Structure 1
C-alpha cells in the first residue's frame, strides 16, 4: 500500500485585480466568471485529494469549488496572503513615489503601514503548516471527523492526500521551507490556478524532512500566469 503523504499547493485563479497588477493581500477579491469557467473546464487535469484546505478569502474558496467540487473543504485564515495594509488594491505606479513603499521594496522585513510584517506572515504560515500536520498525524493514528458545512469525513479515514488552495506568496514561502530546492522566494513561478505537488514517505513526514518528490501541477493544460 502507498504510504506517502502528498500535499498539493495551488494558487487561486486570476482576478481582475491580479490582471491590473494591484496588491491584493487580505482584500477579498472574487474570481470573474471567465476565470471560474476556465477552472471548471480544466478540473479533470488535476490530481485527486481526500481533503482541501483553503484560505478563507473568496478567490481561494471559489477556486477550490471549481477544481475540487466533491472533496470535503476546510477554511483557514492562516493561509491568507500577506496583508498589504494601506497598499491594498494599489499598483506600483500609484505607490512608486511613496517613501515608505520604496523603503519596503529595499527591505521587505519592514512593517507595512496598517498591514503585516514579514515575520508575522512567516509565523502565521508556520502555524498553518502545523495545522496540516496535525490533520495528517491524527487521521493516520486514530479516528477523526472533519466538519464541512454539516458533512463529515468518515471517522476511520486516513488523510494522506491534501490540497491547499492559497496565494502566490504563501506558496513561494512554503516551497522555500518544504523543499530542498536552492531557489529564492521570487525564483518560484506560480501560475494562477496551478502550483506544485510535494510528497514524503511516512518516515520523512514524521521526522519533518523536506519533501522527497516535487512536481508542477497540473502537468498539462493552458493555465493563466
Structure 2
C-alpha cells in the first residue's frame, strides 16, 4: 500500500499590486488574472484567508471546500505596505531588511521570526490531518518559509523563486516522515494548471 504524502505549495495568482512590484501584505486585494483548473485534486485544500488566495483556490480547484487560515497570510509590512522598491530604496532599515530579513523588520510591521512561527503553527495543524495530500494557497513570504523548512536542499529565504501562480510539489515517501517534521524526499516545480506528473 502506498504510504506517501504530497504537499502542494502554491502562491496566489497575480494582482495589480504585484504587477506594480508593490509590497502587498495584509491589504485584501483581488487577483487580476484567472486560470483554469489544476490537473490534480488534493484531499485537503487550505491557505491564507485573504481574498487573493481564496480566489486562486476557487479557480484552481472548483467545487473543493477551502479552509482559510490567517497563519498562512503574507507578512504584515507595516509602514512599507503597498510601497515599491523605488519608494523605499533610500531607507537604511529597508536596505538592511533586503540583505537579511531575519535581522530587520518593517516599522510597525511583522518580525521575520513572528511570521515564521505562525506559518509553522499552521503547518503543524495540517500534520494532524489523516489525508494523503494537501494544497496550501499562500503568499511569497510564507511559501519561501515552507520551502526553506521542507525542501531537501537548504537555501536562503530569497534563494527560492516563487512568482505569482508558482507551484511546488513536495513528496514524502512515508507519511510518518511528514508527520515527524522531516524534509521531503522529492520536490518539483510544476505548471499551475498542468498535471502533477509533468
The alignment's TM-score, normalised by the length of structure 1, stands at 0.79
Match runs of 1:30-109 below 5 Å:
30-32=30-32, 35-36=33-34, 39-40=35-36, 43-44=37-38, 46-108=39-101, 109=103
Question: How much is the aligned-residue C-alpha RMSD, in angstroms?
Answer: 1.7
Q: CA deviation at 1:219?
A: 7.5
What are the Cα deviations for residues 104-152 of structure 1, in whole angstroms up to 9, with x where unaligned?
A: 3344222321110011111111111111112x2xxx3xxxxxxxxxxxx
Structure 2 gaps, min length 5: none
Structure 1 gaps, min length 5: 141-158
Larger helix proportion of the pair = 1
Alpha-carbon distance change, 202 to 104 in structure 1, aligned in 2, over 3 angstroms: closer
The alignment's TM-score, normalised by the length of structure 2, stands at 0.89
1:218 to 186, 191, 194: 191
Match of 2:147 in 1: 175
Alpha-carbon distance change, 49 to 110 in structure 1, aligned in 2, over 3 angstroms: same
Alpha-carbon distance change, 190 to 105 in structure 1, aligned in 2, over 3 angstroms: closer
Runs of 4 or more consecutive aligned structure 1 residues displaced over 4 Å after TM superposition: none
Match of 1:131 in 2: 125
Count of paired positions? 192
